[in-house]
Structure 1
Amino acid sequence: MLPKLLLASLTATATTVSAEQVLGVYIFHRHGDRTSKAWPPVSLTPLGAQQVASSASFYRARYITSSSSSSSSENSNSTTTIAGISTDAAVLSQLSITAPVDNVLQNSAAVFAQALYPPSKSAGSQKLANGTTVEAPLGGYQYIPVNAVASAASSAGSESSAWLQGSSGCSDAVVSSNSYFLTPEYLDTLNRTHGFYQDLLPVINTTFNSTTATFKNGYSIFDYINVATIHNASIPSSSLLTNSTLETLYDLASTHEWNLAYNASEPSRAIAGSVLAGQILTALEAIAEPSSSSSSSSLAPRINVQFGAYGAFMAFFGLAQLPAASTDFYGICDYASSMALELVAPSPDRTSPDDLSVRFLWSNGTAAAHGLKEYPLFGQEKQTTTLSWNDFKAGMNKFAVASTQDWCSVCGNTDGACANSTDASGSPSAQSSSSSDKGSGSGISRPVAGVIGALVTLGVILGVEALVLLLGGLRLVKKSTLAGGAGAGGAGATGVKA
C-alpha cells in the first residue's frame, strides 16, 4: 500500500512541475493575400482576410479559450492559455495590436482583432439605471483599436512599395541595401539570369519591358506572377509558367530580397529586424520584470500583435541566426505567416525572472493550416528551443533597437527627431557597432566632420588658385579695367588678366 501511495505522490508532484504557464506572447504577423504591387492601390483581398481570420482563430484557441493545451508531449499537462486572460469580452488593457500606416497591414490587423475576439452578446449589452437593457449594434461587435504607429518594424506604405527600404527613413540602411547592387554576386546573377527573365516577357509584357525584365526587378516580377497564378483564370502564355519556372522565380526573388534585408557585416541594413527585436523585448520585459519596466505587470498587455512586411521577418531571422536552424528562413514567407515568442513560467506560482523562459515558434503560412513549430534562436543547438529569460534578453540586446537614440545611431540620421537625440558633445548618445557612424575613432560627429571637410576643400581650392596666379604671372583686376572703362562689369567684380 505504501509504495502505491508514494508512487501517486511522485506522479502528482511531476504533474505539478510540468504544468507550465504562459504569461504573455508577442506575435509578428504578415498580411494576408493582396493585389499586386505593380498595380496600385494595393488592397487586401477576401482570400487574404480569410487567411488572417483563420490564423487569429488558431491563436484564440491557443491563448484565450479554456480548452487550450500545450502541443508538446513532455508538457501534456501544461496549458497555453495565458494567465488571467479574458476569454469572452476583450479587455483592451490586455491587448496591443499595431501596424504601420498601410492599408493592407492595417486592414489585416483589424480582421485579426475581430477573429481573436469575435462579436459577443454578453460583451455587447448594458443595463441602464432605468432598467432598460441596450444591445450593442452589429451583434456584439467588439471595438478593438489597431494602433497605427510610426515606430513599427515595417515602414509606412510598405505594401505599396516594391523597394524594400523604400520609406524606412534610415539613411545608412538605404545606402547599405543599395550597395548590394554593386557586389559581384549581384552582377553575376543579373547577367546569368538575363535570358530567363527575357523569356517571360510574353507573360509580363503588359507591365514589364525588355529593359525592366531583369533580376534587378526580381521581387516585383515574382509578385506580379504570383498574384496572377492565384487570381487570374487566364494568363497570357501561361504554358511558360511551369513548376520549375515558378520555383526559380521564387528562389531568385528570395535571394534578391534577403540580400537587401540583411547583411552580417552591416547591422544598419537589418534595421527593421532590430526595431522589431526592441519592441519584442520591451513588451515581454514589461511582463517578466515589472519592477524594471515603466508599466506594472498587471497592466502590461499579455497579447501583443504587430503586422508587418516580409522584409522585417527576413531582417529578424538573419539577426537571430535562424537560418542556422533551417534554410527555409532564407525564403520570402507566405501570406499570413506568423511568428510567436511565448514567455513561459514553469508553474503558475513560479514567476520570478530567473524562473522564466522564452520559446520561438513559427508558421510559414496561416497557423490554422500549418500549426506552429519551435526553432532555436541565436544559433543554439537544434534541440534547445527554449531559452531562459536572462539568456533570451542577453541575445536580443546584441541587436535590438529600442529607442530613438539607438535608431539614430544605427541609421546615421541627424535630422528630424534625431536632431534632438544628441548628448553634450553633439554626437549620438547611443553608440552603434556600425563603423559608418564613427570617424576612425576620432569621436567627431557627422555634422562637425562635414563642416571640417567643407573648409578643407575650400582651402585646397584657394591654394590652387594662388599657385596658378603666382606661377602663371597672373593678377586680379577689375572687369571695368578689362573693358577699358566701358562699364562691362559691376564696380566690385573681378577678373583674371595675363
Structure 2
Amino acid sequence: MSDDSTLLGVVILTRHGDRQGFYQDPDSYTASGTVITPLGTVQEYQLGQKLRSLYLNASSPTDLAGMSHDVVNASQISVSADAGGEGGVIFDSAVSLMQGLFPNTTSYNTTLANGTTVVGPLGGYQYIPIESVEPDNDISLEGWTSCSAFSDWTYEFYNSSAFQQKASENADFLGQLPPYLDGRPVSLENMIFDFMNVNWIHNEEFADAVPEEYLAQARALANYHEYGVFTSPEVDGIGNIAGRTVLPIILEGFASIIDSSDPTQLVYTGVSYKPFLSLFNMTQAAEMHSNLEAIGKTMDYAASVVFEVRETSDGDHVLRFNFKNGTSEDEFTSYPILGQDGDVPLSTFIDRLAPAAINSTADWCQACGNTKDRGCAALTKAANDAIAAHSDTISPVGAGFLGAGLTIVVMLAMFGVLLFMGVLTFGRRTASRKQKETSSVDVKA
C-alpha cells in the first residue's frame, strides 16, 4: 500500500480471547454463557501490545500523532464491548486488550494539595472506560438474536441443495465423531467444532485421542457452515445482519475521526466472530481474498480488523482495511476491498455500505419481523394505540392510509423518546459523549 497519506485515526474490531466451551442453538443462534480463560486474557493483552506498537509508538510509521501515548486521554478514544450470549468473555477481553494498549505507568498519578504524589494502584494501572453493550437494550452488536427473519434464513440455508450435498459428502466423517463428543448429537446443521476445539486446547486426554485430521476436517465444515449462515449475496440481505447492525458504529467512528472538532482518534469495539464474516462479505474482502472466506467460525481467538482512516495530500479521505488472524499471525495484512486497488475512498465505502446499515431499533424490528422483543413491543404498542385513537374519526379507507404512515411516524417518535429516557440505546451512547466532554486531559480514569 502507498504511504503518501496521513493517518488520522483507526476503527478497530476484535474477537474475544480463548474461553471455555459454550453452545449456540443452530437455528436461532441463542447462546449460553461461558467464561474467558487465562490464556484468553493473555491473547488479548498481546493484541493490545501489538496495536500499541503500531499506533501509539512515535517510531512507528502508523503512529497516531496527537494521541496521548502513555496516560490515556478518554476524550480521544471510544471503547465498547458486546455483553451478550458469551457472557463476560468479550467484555473481559476488552479489559485485557486495553491494558496492553495503555499499560500501567507511574505517569498515572496525581499530586495532592500537600505536595504528596499518589500513583495509581498496581504501578499505575489505568482504568479505561469501556461501555458494556447489552443486547436487550441495544441491537448493534448482536443483531441476529430474536430475529425471525434470520432464523428463516438459516432454515433456508440448511435446506438448500448445496448444504444437503455438503452434508451427504461428509456423512461418513460425521458418523465417526460421536465417540469423542460425550454424547452430543452430530450433524452438519449442529456442527460442534467449538466443543472439539476447546477440548483440543485444554483437555490432554481428548487431544491424544482425537486424530488431528478430524479437527482439521471439522474446522473446514464449521467454516462452510458459519460463512453460509452469516452472509448474503445481497449487501442488505438478512444473512449480513451481524454486519449491518455494527455498521453504524463503524461509520460514526469514521465521522468522528475526520471531524477536526472531535478529538476521537481510536474507536474500539469488542465483538464475536459473526460481524467479521458479514463485513468480509459486504466489503468483498472474502471475494477478493479467498483465505478470508475460509476462516469462518474458526477464526482464531483475538483476531482483529483495523480500518485506518487516512487523508491524502489532496485532502481526500481514504480507508485501509487491515486484518490479523489472532495469534496465528504476527503482523496485520492490508487487504484491498470493494473491488479497488489499494486504499478505498471513504465516500465509496459509504456509498456502497451505508444504505444497508440498520440504524435504529425500529429498523431492526422491521427487518427481523419482530413485534415483541428487544424494544419492539413498546414500538408496536405505541403504533397500535395511535392507530386505534384515530380509527373512529375517519373512514376505513382513510384509516388504512393513516395506519401505514402513522405506524412509521409513531415508531420513530417512540424510538426517540426511549432513547432520550435511556430505555433503548444504539451505537455510541450519550453517556459516552458526556463523559468525553467532561473528562480532563490531565486527570485520566
TM (norm. structure 2) is 0.76
Distance between the aligned counterparts of 1:203 and 1:419, measured in 2?
Answer: 44
Distance 1:327 1:398 in 2: 26
Alignment of 1:55-204 (within 5 A): 55-69=47-61, 80-101=62-83, 102-123=87-108, 125-150=109-134, 151=138, 153-155=140-142, 165=144, 168-204=145-181
**Could you tell me whether the CA contact under 8 Å between 1:338 and 1:366 is conserved in 2?**
no
How far apart are the structure 2 equivalents of 1:18 and 1:184?
46
SS in 2 for 1:235: helix
Match of 1:399 among 324, 339, 356: 356
Q: Distance in 2 between matches of 1:19 and 1:313?
A: 28
1:273 match: 243
User: Does 2:192 align with 1:226?
Assistant: no
- CA RMSD, 1 decimal: 2.9
Deviation for aligned residue 1:425: 9.3
Residue 111 and residue 237 in structure 1: after superposition, are their counterparts in 2 closer, same or farther (change >3 A)?
closer
- Counterpart contact for 1:27–1:339, Cα < 8 Å: yes
1-structure distance, mates of 2:132, 2:82: 5
- Alignment pair present for 1:327 and 2:296: no
Q: 1:271 to 1:128 in 2, by over 3 A?
A: same
More displaced stretch, 33-42 vs 319-328: 33-42
Give structure 2 stretches of 5+ with no counterpart.
25-31, 385-400, 408-445
Could you tell me which residue of structure 2 aligns to residue 37 of structure 1? 22
Counterparts in 2 of 1:230 and 1:138: CA distance versus 1, 3 Å? same
Give the letter aligned to residue 326 of structure 1. Answer: H
Task: State the secondary structure of the residue aligned to 2:189.
Answer: helix
Assess, with a 3 A threshold, how the Cα gap between structure 1 residues 23 and 207 changes in structure 2: closer, same or farther.
farther
Q: Shift of the alpha carbon at 1:113?
A: 0.8
**Quick check: 1:286 aligned with 2:286?**
no
2:39 corresponding residue in structure 1: 47
CA distance in 2 between counterparts of 1:259 and 1:226 reads 20
* 1:19 CA drift (Å): 5.2
Which deviates the most, 147-156 or 59-68? 147-156
Which one of the candidate residues 190, 205, 212 is aligned to 1:217?
A: 190
Q: In the alignment, is the contact (CA less than 8 A) between 1:52 and 1:366 conserved in 2? A: no
Within 1, Cα distance between the matches of 2:343 and 2:280? 17
Residue 272 of structure 1 aligns with an amino acid whose one-letter code is A
1:315 is displaced (CA, Å) by 1.3
**Cα offset for 1:300?**
4.6
Residue 96 of structure 1 aligns to a residue whose secondary structure is: strand
Q: 1:236 to 1:316 in 2, by over 3 A?
A: closer
Aligned to 1:303: 266
Tell me the CA shift for residue 443 of structure 1: 11
Choose which of 308, 322, 337 in structure 2 pairs with 1:361. 322
Question: 1:413, CA displacement in angstroms?
Answer: 2.9
For residue 312 of structure 1, the aligned residue among 263, 275, 283 is 275
Aligned partners of 1:121 and 1:139 also within 8 Å: yes
Give the drift of 1:152.
Answer: 6.1
**TM-score scaled to structure 1, two decimals?**
0.68
Q: Which residue of 1 aligns with 2:29?
A: none
What is the letter of the counterpart of residue 216 of structure 1?
E
Distance 1:261 1:443, change over 3 A: farther
Partner in structure 2 of residue 342 of structure 1: 308
| Partner AA of 2:357 in structure 1 | A
- TM-superposition CA deviations, 1:63-120 (whole Å, max 9, x none): 1121111xxxxxxxxxx11131001100111111111113110100000111100011
* Structure 1 portions without partners, runs of 5+: 1-16, 70-79, 157-164, 291-296, 427-441, 449-498
Residues matched between the structures, number: 371
Check conservation: 2:201, 2:207, Cα contact below 8 A: no
1:143 deviates by: 0.8
> Aligned with 2:375: secondary structure?
helix
Checking the alignment, whether the CA contact within 8 Å between 1:97 and 1:113 is kept in structure 2 is no
Give the AA of the match of 2:142.
S
Specify the alignment match of 1:260 in structure 2: 229
Report the 3-state secondary structure (helix = DSSP H, G, I; strand = E; otherwise coil) of the residue aligned with 2:205.
coil
In the alignment, the residues of structure 2 paired with residue 403 and residue 196 of structure 1 have an alpha-carbon distance, to the nearest angstrom, of 44
CA distance in 1, matches of 2:172, 2:365: 42
Secondary structure of the residue aligned to 1:215 is coil
- Report the alpha carbon displacement of residue 229 of structure 1 after superposing the two structures with TM: 1.6
In 2, Cα distance between the equivalents of 1:228 and 1:201? Answer: 14
1:413 aligns with one of 344, 348, 370: 370
The offset of 1:195, in angstroms, is 2.3
1 CA distance for matches of 2:120 and 2:80?
25
Cα gap change, 1:443/1:337 in structure 2, threshold over 3 Å: closer, same or farther?
A: farther
Q: 2: CA distance between counterparts of 1:152 and 1:303?
A: 22
